[in-house]
Chains A and B, each alone.
Chain A
């Protein structure tokens, strides 16, 4: 019954890396991996589509991340309503607009979807079709967003563009 556990264990480092690249924080990344695995294992019977286990788990993790993100955004909007000051740790600050020096730093300042896209394609080597399923968009959209993400990463790495200008690019 648990013959899937070993492949799962082997994928754990990759799942954790994907989660870190999304949350930018190791401990909340592990929470995200945990909730994703709970979701995956409780719906194990019959729900898993044929295909790559890794792509399936990446999709679950990405959805979980979006859900959590939406929840926390709602929460911070509510906080804002009550306290009157906004608090988003990832809003570009004065420091963040300083040109990114390396590819990794450039990667850090991309949007969550662009990070997910580049990690899935360039680092993990998932197929475009699998990525389309993960992001829940048509494959043509994946291609144009991928080009845009690559271009943004390129420009940021070269220090030719600052974060606010990137917002216009999106």
Chain B
């Protein structure tokens, strides 16, 4: 039931024909007594009618195949595929970047720190110099192994290179970033020098697989054992030094 005077909703419902029969009759009676309002509502009704007629032509435009539901579904599927492909490409790019960066880091670290570079440096510094000060010499004590063992517990045995003509001539203690190190220099009768180098693996406990590398005119053979890293350094292209290397 509507109440009088009619609400905004009642007026519109009257225009749109959405009132029930009783309400409609009530409105008709009311409007008969209010000609101005009646005229207004009739104007609204007439406009609605003109609009329906005027816009009916819009329903008969040429169909647009792009708007067909099947075309829309195809496009949604394409967009989804494209998004997945983009996400996958992004993932691959990020992974490649990450892996590549890590690899580059390893390479640059490896490049900056070749294994047992300190052994080669020590050789260059001391072994070439016959006058080098020694912490051990054959004249003081015969027991080189004992001297080494007092500084490095459970160290590998010193190599016996006598068969290749090399004899230990001096030993020297030094310090490195990784801890204390010792170098024993062997010489043969022609004055060629080989060094045996021992030190702890350092904080990162970086033990080495057995390997060999060349550094200028020197060759370093390195390995790990008994909790230490070792290197034997000597001239790279010298046959006598190669023979000595084969001895251990």
Contact = CB atoms under 8 A, between A and B. Distances in A.
Interface of A: 2, 4-5, 8-9, 12-14, 16-17, 20-21, 26, 30, 33-34, 37-38, 41-42, 102-104, 106-107, 118-119, 121-123, 125, 128, 139-140, 143-144, 146-147, 150-151, 153-154, 157-158
A114 B100 CA distance: 60
Contacts of B54: 102-104, 107
Given A2-B69, A8-B69, A9-B69, A121 B16 contact: yes
**Which label, helix, strand, loop or mixed, suits the secondary structure of the A interface?**
helix
Contacts of B16: 121-122, 125
B137 interface: no
A13 B59 contact: yes
Nearest to A21: B55
Contacts of B9: 128, 139-140, 143
Contacts of B60: 13
B71 to A, nearest CB: 9
A30 B67 contact: yes
- The 10 A-B pairs at the shortest CB distance, nearest first, are namely A103-B50, A122-B48, A17-B58, A5-B69, A104-B54, A13-B59, A143-B8, A150-B44, A143-B9, A37-B72
A157 to B, nearest CB: 6
Interface string B48-73: 10111011001111011011111011
A123 B69 contact: no
16 contacts: A2-B69, A12-B67, A12-B68, A16-B58, A34-B67, A106-B47, A118-B51, A123-B51, A128-B9, A143-B7, A143-B12, A147-B11, A147-B12, A150-B15, A150-B48, A153-B44
A153 B47 contact: yes
Q: Select the residue from B12, B58, B64 with max chain A CB neighbours within 10 A.
A: B58
A5 B70 contact: yes
A118 B73 CA distance: 31
Interface of B: 7-9, 11-13, 15-16, 40, 43-44, 47-48, 50-52, 54-55, 58-61, 63-64, 66-70, 72-73, 75-76
Contacts of B61: 13, 16, 26
Contacts of A139: 9
A30 B64 contact: yes
A37 B71 CA distance: 10
Contacts of B50: 102-104, 157
A37 to B, nearest CB: 5
Nearest to A118: B51
A123 B58 CA distance: 12
B67 A16 contact: yes
A37 B67 contact: yes
Contact of A38 (B51, B52, B72): B72
A121 B68 CA distance: 26
